[in-house]
Amino acid sequence: MREVMSAHIEQFVARIDKALGGDPEKALFAVSALIGALVVSRVMADEKHSDAVLAAAKRELLALEENC
């Protein structure tokens, strides 16, 4: 299972890397932030806090894309 998930994440990072103009470090950060935000938002009991986590991640990830 770990190998399968690792392969999928590596492919996802590669696609983000390409979209960000070839910056593997930023791509790895973006994927990590995206996955982390999803996990954190899912465990939040308060829907407003959950939505705030997702909104903050979206805002910062879009800003990252604009700066590339």
Q: For the purposes of burial, counting CB atoms within 10 Å of the CB of 26, is it exposed (0-12), middle (13-18) or buried (19 or more)? A: middle
Q: What is the mean pLDDT of each run of 10 residues along the chain (68 residues)?
A: 96 96 95 97 98 97 85
pLDDT of residue 51: 98
Helix ranges (DSSP H) in the chain: 2-19, 24-43, 47-66
pLDDT of residue 67: 79
pLDDT of residue 26: 95
Asked if 36 contacts 53 with a C-beta cutoff of 8 angstroms, the reply is no
Break the chain into its structural domains and give their ranges. Answer: 2-66
User: Model-level pTM?
Assistant: 0.85
